[in-house]
Amino acid sequence: MKTKQKKKGLSETEIDACVVAESDNESAWSKPAKARRTKTAAVSLPSSLAARAAFFAGLHREARLNDWLKRVIEERVDLEEAAFAGFKRELVSGARKSRA
């Protein structure tokens, strides 16, 4: 039976030597990767709702209204996702029961 030998990894200096050797070879390089900053969303609220939200942000000892709103929205989205997943499970299990 043949045994597989592990390939020895290159050391840092060997990797550096390979990169330096290929630095002038344009075909060795791929296009540069581009990273984009995520865009922030602006949400407009009626002034009465903003005032009510600011009041509750203060009750929750949140220094910034935006931070409190972000936390509340994240909690609500988590609840909605859980409810949606549960609804999907009920639909799938209901479909299986009707086939039986």
pLDDT digits (tens, 9 = 90+) for 39-62: 888 889 999 999 999 999 999 999
Please count the helices (runs of H) and the strands (runs of E) in the chain: 3, 0
pTM, to two decimals:
0.53
At 6 the pLDDT is 61
Question: Is residue 20 one of the residues assigned to a domain?
Answer: no
Number of domains in the chain: 1
Question: Is residue 47 one of the residues assigned to a domain?
Answer: no
Question: Is residue 25 one of the residues assigned to a domain?
Answer: no
Question: Is residue 86 one of the residues assigned to a domain?
Answer: yes
Domain of 97 in residue numbering reads as 64-100
Q: How far apart are CA 78 and CA 71, in angstroms?
A: 11
Q: How far apart are CA 66 and CA 40, in angstroms?
A: 12
Question: Is residue 5 one of the residues assigned to a domain?
Answer: no
Q: Are 36 and 44 spatial neighbours (Cβ–Cβ below 8 Å)? A: no
Instruction: Name the one residue in this structure whose structure tokens are 């609840």.
Output: 79
Question: Is residue 21 one of the residues assigned to a domain?
Answer: no
